[in-house]
Copies of this chain bind each other. A is one copy, B any other.
């Protein structure tokens, strides 16, 4: 039985984590990961990316993984789509939500997806248009992601009003949700508060989610800052894994288990059973022997007498 929740924890490790490692995780392991993390209480998982399989062989089993995940009743199945072509494949696979990432930084956009920022907005608008042509009963939600919203390794600082303006554009052309991302772990809590406050004010009732990397150790402080100004959905990667190819030894996304520990420790219900989540991480570590796992709670163990806000039967 699921308790009501105060905050949504969304697993993105199957996409953001797996895309940045060399090891290809076998399909059966991806399915196990998905099943077990769902069983631990996570209700939204980005399970794959519909990039061209030649570009990222990690996701050549995208359809199989989606089909399996869609069988887990109650799970929101998300897939990354880099363009209209990817969106067509994701729609055919039947996902519940498509996430489209675009950069706020012009240089990052050009070097990463070989498109200008304006061209990315146009591509996103096309995806939204495509989605509107789908039968409403099978129509997926569309999430617009603003990468490098707090700075970029090429350009450095990014103007905050530019983030707000782009969030408004994504909403205008049809986003069901906007995700603001600190892709390279540059943000500090003060900027987090300013930007999310402004974006939330600009978008009214449209959901705004946060995607933070812990590259410079501020990931969870930034979650707290975003929570304080009204963000209620956070991306995270089990084992903080994936890392950043440009900073060897540095961690990648915030670790899902550490995020859940902090939120539950604050009395906020995530609906996630922390012990079971940590067990999924352990199984992943076995399935990916050479890879570096990050995160603190799995190593240090839960505090004695720790009471989880969700009070699942753990």
A interface residue numbers (CB < 8 A to B): 151-157, 184-191, 214-218, 220-221, 223-225, 228, 244, 247-251, 255, 258, 261-262, 265-267, 295-297, 299-301, 303-307
How far, in whole Å, are A267 and B192 apart by their CA atoms in the complex? 12
- Indicate if the CB atoms of B262 and A300 lie closer than 8 Å: no
CB distance from A126 to the nearest CB of B (A): 32
Contact between B297 and A217 (Cβ–Cβ < 8 Å)? yes
- Please tell me if the beta carbons of B305 and A188 are within 8 angstroms of each other in the complex: no
Chain B residues positioned under 8 Å from A295 (CB to CB)? 217
Closest residue of B by beta carbon distance from A151:
B303
Distance to closest chain B CB from A224 (angstroms): 5
Pairs A–B under 8 Å by Cβ, sample size 13 = A152-B304, A153-B304, A156-B304, A188-B262, A188-B266, A189-B266, A190-B265, A216-B303, A217-B220, A221-B221, A244-B300, A249-B299, A250-B299
Checking B220, B244, B301 against A221 with a beta-carbon cut-off of 8 angstroms, the contacting residue is B220
Q: How far is the CA of A228 from the CA of B224 in the complex (A)?
A: 11
Q: How far is the CB of A154 from chain B (nearest CB, A)?
A: 8
Q: Is the Cβ of B296 less than 8 Å from the Cβ of A251?
A: yes
Q: Please give, as numbers and ranges, the residues of chain B lying within 8 Å of A265 by CB-CB distance.
A: 187-188, 190-191, 218
Q: Is B304 a contact of A216 with CB atoms below 8 Å? A: no
Residues of B within 8 A of A248 (CB): 299
Interchain CB contact under 8 A, B262 and A296: no
* Partner among B189, B255, B305, B306 whose Cβ is within 8 Å of the Cβ of A262: B189
Q: A188-B266, A216-B300 are in contact. List 10 more A-B contacts (CB 8 A).
A: A151-B304, A154-B304, A155-B304, A188-B262, A189-B224, A189-B262, A214-B296, A215-B296, A216-B258, A217-B296
Q: How far is the CA of A191 from the CA of B304 in the complex (A)?
A: 16
Task: Tell me the complex Cα distance, A298–B307, Å.
Answer: 34
Give Cα A294–Cα B268 distance, bound, in whole angstroms. Answer: 29
Residues of B within 8 A of A228 (CB): 228
Whether A297 lies near B216 (C-beta < 8 A) is: yes
Q: Please pick, from B155, B250, B307, the residue contacting A300 in the complex, using a CB distance under 8 A.
A: B250
Least CB distance, A245 to chain B, in whole angstroms: 12
Closest to A257 in B: B217
